[in-house]
């Protein structure tokens, strides 16, 4: 039977995929246990919800399984504590301590809501801009952070065009329909692709949160890119304790992926807030009959799975799409339309769901 020493020797060839150093060398290998053919390896992850955890598991298993007498390899993964992460950073810097953390303070009354979807094309950005416009119309102070760095669309949808102004090391956001807006689309031409990876994305989100003068907001809506990748993880690390609103369409394919995005909240210290079902039905313009083009029940099932309310069901209407192309949200251009009414109901539900946050400070940690 392989010994613990032999297992540790085999693990010297396993490297962290992001840092590129052996896991035992940088303090990620917490413990090794060998018992009757079963080897249990406890590995520390650098961040909560690490996107490469499956690769770490497979690399550890592949390194240990060939050893004599090993029948099974169990890999346990847990995130590092802040102290362990600090020691890792200090070691990577050659013994120099990391730069001190800075705190970005939002006013106590600000409710920060990450708006997520599992997949693209479900209308998440359309929902975001219309929620923002509806909240502003109701007298709330609202900002939108377009965190979809690759697929930014909020500037066009809100009609917030132009270049933000810098002032005393601060960025002043643009404003449209009473909503303050910041987006990568304000800094690069609309047709220019943004080809960035993790560290640059992380820094961009930090600057959008910390260097932009948002003022005394009631709501900051953060339009996330689809899925649970780098941007979503970075944003969650900056806004622990904020809320997450999930947008889906009725069909099962979208619902199941949206549920995965919603479950990310449980692992990244975000508070699940609710589900909005978009494209719920289409009303025939001739007879008025409703047709469920994308199926039925997906939003309600997702809400039940995540243990949150279904806040609204928004019909599929051409004017909702047209408003996004023209920079005038439908809650502004046609406030009495069924889609606008549903979106205002969603905004009212958001206000009710976030009342418990009023008076509670929310600090953003820049890491």
Contact by Cβ (8 Å): 275, 258: yes
pLDDT at 32: 94
For the stretch 225-239, pLDDT in tens is 776 555 567 776 777
Q: Which of 107-121, 167-181, 328-342 has the highest mean pLDDT?
A: 328-342
Residue 362 confidence (pLDDT) above 60: no
pLDDT at 201: 65
Q: Which CATH class is domain 103-366?
A: alpha beta
- d(CA 234, CA 205) in angstroms, rounded, equals 7
pLDDT band at 191 (very low <50, low <70, confident <90, very high): low
CA-based nearest residue to 267, from 231, 301, 233: 233
Kindly state the DSSP code that residue 3 receives in the 8-state scheme: -
- Lowest average pLDDT, out of 178-182, 204-208, 305-309, 341-345, goes to 204-208
Topology adopted by domain 4-92: GMP Synthetase; Chain A, domain 3 (3.30.300)
DSSP letters, 273-296, are: EEEEE-S--EE-TTT--EE-TT-S
Q: How large is the average pLDDT for residues 71-90? A: 86
> Is the C-alpha dihedral spanning 211, 224, 303, 266 positive or negative?
negative
Contact by Cβ (8 Å): 275, 255: no
Q: How large is the average pLDDT for residues 32-51? A: 86
pLDDT band at 292 (very low <50, low <70, confident <90, very high): confident
pLDDT at 5: 92
pLDDT band at 8 (very low <50, low <70, confident <90, very high): very high
Contact by Cβ (8 Å): 147, 184: no
pLDDT at 361: 42
User: What tokens does 64 get?
Assistant: 């240990």
pLDDT at 134: 96
The chain-wide mean pLDDT, for the chain, equals: 82
For the stretch 145-169, pLDDT in tens is 988 776 788 888 999 888 877 655 6
pLDDT at 354: 87
Residue 272 confidence (pLDDT) above 90: no
Residue 89 confidence (pLDDT) above 90: no
For the stretch 104-115, pLDDT in tens is 557 778 899 989
Q: Is 165 helix (H, G, I), strand (E, B) or coil?
A: strand
Question: What pTM was estimated for this model as a whole?
Answer: 0.66
Provide, rounded to the nearest whole percent, the portion of the chain with pLDDT above 90: 37
- Lowest average pLDDT, out of 47-61, 221-235, 278-292, 326-340, goes to 221-235
For the stretch 238-254, pLDDT in tens is 776 788 899 999 988 88
Per DSSP, which regions of the chain are E strands? Answer: 29-35, 38-45, 72-79, 102-105, 111-116, 142-146, 165-167, 170-172, 174-176, 179-183, 219-223, 243-248, 271-277, 282-283, 290-291, 310-313, 363-366
pLDDT band at 359 (very low <50, low <70, confident <90, very high): very low
pLDDT at 102: 43
Residue 83 confidence (pLDDT) above 50: yes
Domain ranges of the chain: 4-92, 103-366
- Lowest average pLDDT, out of 130-139, 173-182, 199-208, goes to 199-208
In angstroms, the Cα distances linking 180 to 37, 66, 99, 169 are 60, 58, 31, 18
pLDDT at 64: 94
Q: Is 227 helix (H, G, I), strand (E, B) or coil?
A: coil
């Amino acid at each position: 039977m392989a010994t613990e020493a032999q297992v540790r020797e085999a693990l010297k060839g396993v490297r962290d995929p992001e840092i590129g150093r052996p896991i035992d060398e940088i303090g990620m290998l917490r413990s090794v246990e060998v018992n009757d053919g079963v080897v249990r390896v406890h590995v520390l992850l650098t961040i909560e919800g690490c996107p490469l955890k499956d690769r770490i598991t497979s690399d550890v298993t592949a390194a240990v399984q060939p050893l004599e007498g090993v029948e099974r390899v169990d890999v346990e993964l847990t995130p590092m504590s802040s102290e362990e992460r600090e020691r890792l950073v200090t070691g990577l810097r050659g013994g120099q301590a990391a730069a001190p953390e800075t705190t970005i303070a939002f006013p106590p009354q600000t409710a920060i809501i990450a708006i997520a979807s599992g997949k693209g094309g479900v209308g998440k950005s359309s929902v975001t801009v219309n929620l923002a416009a509806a909240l502003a119309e109701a007298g709330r102070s609202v900002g939108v952070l377009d965190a979809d760095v690759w697929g930014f669309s909020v500037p066009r949808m809100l009609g917030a065009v132009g270049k933000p102004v810098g002032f005393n090391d601060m960025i002043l956001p643009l404003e449209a329909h009473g909503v303050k807006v910041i987006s990568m689309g304000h800094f690069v031409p609309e047709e220019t692709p943004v080809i960035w990876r993790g560290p640059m994305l992380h820094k961009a989100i930090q600057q959008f949160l910390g260097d932009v003068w948002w003022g005394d907001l009631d709501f900051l809506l953060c339009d996330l890119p689809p899925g649970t990748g780098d941007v979503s993880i970075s944003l969650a690390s900056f806004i622990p304790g904020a809320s997450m609103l999930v947008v889906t369409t009725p069909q099962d394919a979208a619902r199941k992926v949206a549920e995965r995005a919603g479950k990310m909240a449980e692992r990244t210290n975000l508070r699940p807030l609710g589900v909005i079902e978009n494209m719920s039905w289409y009303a025939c313009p001739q007879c008025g009959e409703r047709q469920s083009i994308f199926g039925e029940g997906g939003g309600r099932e997702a809400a039940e799975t995540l243990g949150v309310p279904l806040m609204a069901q928004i019909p599929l209407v051409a004017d909702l799409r047209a408003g996004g192309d023209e920079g005038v949200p439908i809650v502004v251009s046609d406030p009495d339309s069924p889609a606008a009414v549903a979106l205002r109901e969603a905004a009212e539900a958001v206000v009710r769901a976030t009342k418990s946050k009023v008076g509670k400070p929310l600090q953003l940690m820049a890491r």
